[in-house]
Amino acid sequence: MYMSKLTYLLLLILASLSSCYNNNLNKEDISISIIETTDVHGSFFPFDYVRNKQRKGSLASVYSYVDSLMNYSNNIVLLDNGDILQGTPDVYYANYISKSTIHSLSKIMNYMNYDAASVGNHDIEAGHDVYDKYNSELNFPLLAANAIDSNTNTPYFKPYTIIEKQGIKIAVLGLITPSIPKWLPEHLWTGMYFEDMIISAQKWVAAIKKAENPDLIIGLFHAGNDATYGGSDTVSAFNENASVLVARQVIGFDAIFTGHDHHKQTFSVINKAGQKVQVLNAGAHAHNVAQLDINLHWDSKNKSYKKEFNSHIVSMENIAPNTEFLSHFSEWINNSKSYTEEEITSLKDTIFAKNSLLSPAPFINLIHQAQLELSGADISFAAPFSITAELTEGKFTRADLFNLYRYENYLCVIKLSGKEIKQYLDYSIDLWFDNKQNKDGNYLLYGDNIKSANSGYSLKNPYYNFDSGASSDSLNFKYLVNVISEKGNRIQIITPNFDLNRTYSVVLNSYRANGGGGHLLIGVGLNKEELKARKVYCTQQDFRNLLGEWLKKQERPFWPNEYRNWELGIN
């Protein structure tokens, strides 16, 4: 039987009304959760083979947590905020040792169904061969709007992405700290330059609004929250940690996920339009995730969503690693474990990193000796990359090598005058020692911020900026630190015939050689062009690997040279 035209028309009207009613229902109450990991630094699996202990968190636990949320809602967005391609033997093995045709980390990130990720400075440190390949294999976009292709003047990575959940359009804009040229050799970021974060955010938020008209705009910034860190000001361009500056000055963001500084926190700021912007940072090493829960209520009068935000940090410490995840990546786990267990040499006695804080000690002497012998330079500058590590007597493995030298820095040789060497050391000493005793009876410069967890010291500044100097026996470089003298002039070089006007070759890591820590830019007073002109060369291979190969050739059991290159004095 054919229905009448009137009946058909009525059915169409009812269906249309029902559809409108259902659409309005969908808009009545929508909940979305955005999860951030950041600064994972290779903490993919629950066991730390370097420190021989369970991790407080890992991506295996993050996977368990996100999977549990998916049991209740499909409106989950998973983001990573960079610095994931460096930090443990697991990722070092995947970057440089593994023969797999597909990068192992891209397999993990695709397995976990990440929606987007930003690029971190330590991801760039892995080199073009690593991060370009990794980027090409991901099922989601790698974001950095202010990393600009030098040839096209367009973003080298994708600037933003659109994620849709239940009809809600979420724009995610990625930015990277623009300070990379201060830290990394140019061959690692060749073909790129970096825009100021505020300028880039203003440009791209306007473009996103015009092209996409999203319901939410989320920032995914690999940069910290303290714009004054390291003596920076909040006005100059190219601030290393401009995330909160962007939140306040660039109108349009609902929330900004931050990273880089490893400080877990949630708070809100008010932007120039008087609107509240959520700021979240998960910390580091997958110990936690940052979670932003968003409730959207449809305002039919204004035809827009009213948004409610709840931000919090969720610890992964008591969340069991996902067994299917571990099983799926068991081959990688076993291979990297075997890699860390490889014996490199043996030590005559136990070395304690903590001893490097108050006097010349074997931990830092080992670095000086390797740098001097590998480079043939006159003088070595180096700082401890740990003050809690213990390298035990006997067998020394690749795991110990990661404890000794945490980062994939390169080795560089530059030219400095004797006067500039003194200025460099004066700058370092002023970060390191006070000119009065602290509560523990030593002269370490203490502050409110504890930079050295589990060390017993509440240091004001990061210990990885506490550079000392050493030399070969032929120069016999030695100096006194007059701690109670006026800051800026506490170094007294006592080397016979040391000439303040002579030019010396100096070996140091690539972070420092490019201006990191301020020793050369602030302490010595070189500008970027002068710094570049002073550079003799940088190695193409990371120093940790060079150090391992050098140690293999040393007499066993090994013990580093005793330089006795400096001492504290009270004059």
Q: Domain boundaries in the chain?
A: 28-336, 343-569
Q: Which three-class secondary structure state does DSSP give residue 254? A: coil
Nearest to 554 by CA among 373, 389, 292, 384: 373
Q: What is the pLDDT of residue 455?
A: 57
Contact 110, 348 (CB under 8 A): no
Q: What is the pLDDT of residue 226?
A: 95
The predicted-structure confidence for 504-527, as pLDDT tens digits, reads as follows: 999 999 999 999 999 999 999 999
Contact 108, 333 (CB under 8 A): no
- At 214, list the tokens: 């999203």
- How far is 445 from 429, CA to CA, in rounded Å? 10
- At 191, list the tokens: 């073909």
- Phi–psi pair at 89, nearest 5 degrees: -60, -30
Q: Which CATH number fits domain 28-336: 1.20.1250.20, 3.90.930.12, 3.40.1350.10, 3.60.21.10?
A: 3.60.21.10
Contact 461, 473 (CB under 8 A): no
Where in 342-473 does DSSP place strands (E)?
343-347, 351-352, 379-382, 390-391, 394-397, 411-417, 468-471
Instruction: Give Cα 311 to chain centroid, integer Å.
Output: 22
For residue 325, count other CB atoms closer than 10 A to its CB: 23
Q: What is the pLDDT of residue 449?
A: 55
Q: Which three-class secondary structure state does DSSP give residue 93? A: helix
Range 546-554, long-range pairs (CB < 8 A, 24+ positions): 546/370, 546/374, 546/411, 547/367, 547/370, 547/401, 547/404, 547/405, 548/344, 548/398, 548/401, 550/370, 550/373, 550/374, 551/344, 551/345, 551/370, 551/396, 551/401, 552/344, 552/345, 554/345
- How far is 79 from 91, CA to CA, in rounded Å? 19
Residues sharing a CB contact under 8 Å with residue 438, sequence separation 6 or more, in sequence order: 444, 445, 446
- At 213, list the tokens: 């008209």
Matching residue, tokens 């000086």: 368
Q: What is the pLDDT of residue 247?
A: 98
- How far is 166 from 164, CA to CA, in rounded Å? 7
Contact 219, 173 (CB under 8 A): yes
Would you give the DSSP letter of residue 444? B
Nearest to 463 by CA among 320, 356, 326: 356
Architecture (CATH level 2) of domain 343-569: Alpha-Beta Complex (3.90)
Q: What is the pLDDT of residue 27?
A: 66
- How far is 518 from 512, CA to CA, in rounded Å? 8
The predicted-structure confidence for 267-277, as pLDDT tens digits, reads as follows: 999 999 999 99
Sign of torsion over alpha carbons 106, 112, 118, 121: negative
Q: One digit per residue, pLDDT tens: the chain, 571 residues?
A: 344 444 433 444 444 444 444 444 446 789 999 999 999 999 999 999 998 899 999 999 999 999 999 999 999 999 999 999 999 999 999 999 998 899 999 999 999 999 999 999 999 999 999 999 999 999 999 999 999 999 999 999 999 999 999 999 999 999 999 999 989 999 999 999 999 999 999 999 999 999 999 999 999 999 999 999 878 889 999 999 999 999 999 999 999 999 999 999 999 999 999 999 999 999 999 999 999 999 999 888 888 889 999 999 999 999 999 999 999 999 999 999 999 999 999 999 999 999 999 999 999 999 999 999 999 999 999 999 999 999 999 999 999 999 999 988 999 999 999 999 999 999 999 999 999 999 989 999 998 754 444 557 889 999 999 999 999 888 999 999 999 999 999 999 999 989 999 999 999 999 999 999 999 999 999 998 999 999 999 999 999 999 999 999 999 999 999 999 999 987 7
